[in-house]
Amino acid sequence: MMLFLPSLLSGLTTGTLSYWLVILILIVNFIFIMALIFMERADPRSTISWILVLILVPIIGFIVYLFIGQTVYRSHQFKLKKKDDDKLLATKNEIIGLLKTKEKDKSDEDIEIYQMSEAFMKAGGSFYTEENAVELFTEGEKKFKRMFDDLRKAEKFIHIEYYIIRNDKLSNEFMDILIEKVKAGVEVRLMIDAVGNNKGPKKKLVEFQKAGGEFTTFHKTITVLLSPKKNNRNHRKIAVIDGIVGYVGGFNIGDEYLGKGPLGYWRDSAVRVEGIGVYTMNLRFMMDWEYASHKELPLDKKYYPPILPEKTWTEKMQLISGGPDTIRNPIQTEYLKLINAAKKSIYIHTPYLIPDTTIRDALILAGYSGVDVRIIIPDKPDHPFVYWAGLAFAGQLIKDGSVRVYNYNRGFVHSKTMVVDGKYCSVGSANFDERSLKLNFETNAVVYSEKIGTEMIDAFMDDLKYCTEYTEEMYDKRSLWLRFKMGISRLAAGLL
């Protein structure tokens, strides 16, 4: 850092205020570097990246670190959230009377599923549930039609938690339904991420609240502007209707998710659930709602109505949520466990492919073991730096032929899914990137189902018709300019 003192201090005399201000900033900068090494970051790659930034651009780097890098305040705040969540979870479980697998004779496959679900639960996931009905959606038109029909049928309450709700035709139809249900006496609670709400339906939200609907943002706008929590987005997408129907997936709410935006055709995924699994979705919403709104929801059984599963409801599922309020992110555990369990195939959709070292190595090892590992990513960026970083990491994965990566040419792939051996299925909001595994609040549904697995594989194989394989030859022939962009993007990814 001393190498940069002459240029920083040139033109300043020792008696000026500016001189001592620069000295103070350099001292604080040095303290931050020491804190980074000894206190804040366990990931060596992240530590080295930030040290380089703080040394090379000490003043700008110091300011950037204050805004997006430092973790002491953030980790303290989210530890408090975790304590509140744990208390709420314990209390509400008494009411729900949940929820473990009944002891009975199990097949080898049942035992494998149960062991997997136990691992997820111990890592911080929800309870494992049986006797659910699960419906898979891979296109926005069908998903939103089904969801809007369910919303119109609501009789008691609606709980909605989304990252983004746009101000467009689809979003206004959605808000009109919520306003109509509030006026009909249905309890409606709506929570949107503060950043995701930036271009939201402001007039409709005012009308919704005037009608009696409850609304909050996950972190207030002023908090987002002035605290490190601005880097921690609530990226979850959850809808619960009357406690008997629930939705989880990757779709936000807006016309672009119907394929009507600048990126064209939109490939995404979501699941609709009926059964006891909806309880876990509602519990997730209630924990987030009480944190965001500072309002306690009454411990009322109406939010967890008796569900008498039909004989045809045989799907097994589990909700996995992760975020900066967890010691070890349960979604990272989910992804690692599913990859390591694979014997035949792993098929992944993700718009952002920036895996950490453990997931990258697990995918490569699975490929070495003879598992068919294929990943579909976009062929165009919605966030350029993330896209270029994804191409760099794709290059690492395909280098020895153990993993195959495909660029989706039909439009934009936003789906966040993994299907393993045609029976372990993950559908949700979490990307295969370090933002989803470190910074954001995310939720996936893990469905243990050959039926859903077959549907997901069929959809994946159909998507391959619209893909170009990203080969080692293509990676090696990158232009110098693209290599530079990918290198910078990888460094930026290391700052998370």
Tell me the one-letter amino acid at 72: V
Q: How far apart are CA 257 and CA 248, in angstroms?
A: 15
Secondary structure (H, E, C), 174-194: HHHHHHHHHHCCCEEEEEEEC
Which of the following is catalytic: 181, 416, 423, 438?
A: 416
E-strand stretches of 257-395: 265-267, 270-274, 315-322, 345-349, 353-354, 372-378
Q: Rounded CA gap, 228 and 68, in Å?
A: 6
Residue of 235, 337, 438, 485 with catalytic role: 235
For residue 317, what are the β-bridge partners?
129, 447
Please confirm, yes or no, whether 349 is among the known catalytic residues. Answer: no
Q: Please state the separation of Cα 163 from the chain's center in Å.
A: 10
Whether residue 400 lies in the annotated active site: no
Cβ atoms 293, 220 nearer than 8 A:
no
Is 242 noted as a catalytic residue in this protein? yes
76 carries an active-site annotation: no
Cβ(258)–Cβ(404) under 8 Å?
Answer: no
Token pair for 324: 């900066």
CA 188 to chain CA mean position, Å: 24
- In angstroms, the Cα distances linking 167 to 65, 142, 197, 201, 202 are 33, 20, 9, 4, 8
Active-site residue, 86 included: no
Measured distance CA(302)–CA(306) in Å, rounded: 9
Give the largest Cα separation in the chain, rounded: 84
Kind plus residue range of the DSSP H or E element containing 20: helix 17-35
Bridge-based pairing of strands 245-249 and 270-274 is: antiparallel
**In terms of Cα–Cα distance, which of 380, 356, 394 is closest to 494?**
356
414 assigned to active site: yes
Strands 442-448 and 424-428: antiparallel
Q: Which of 85, 150, 193, 242 is catalytic?
A: 242
- DSSP-derived 3-state class of residue 158: strand
Catalytic residue among 181, 204, 229, 237: 237
Catalytic one of 81, 219, 414, 485: 414
- Active-site entry in 193, 288, 325, 421: 421
Helix 169-183 × helix 202-210 angle, to 10°: 0
Catalytic residues: 235, 237, 242, 414, 416, 421
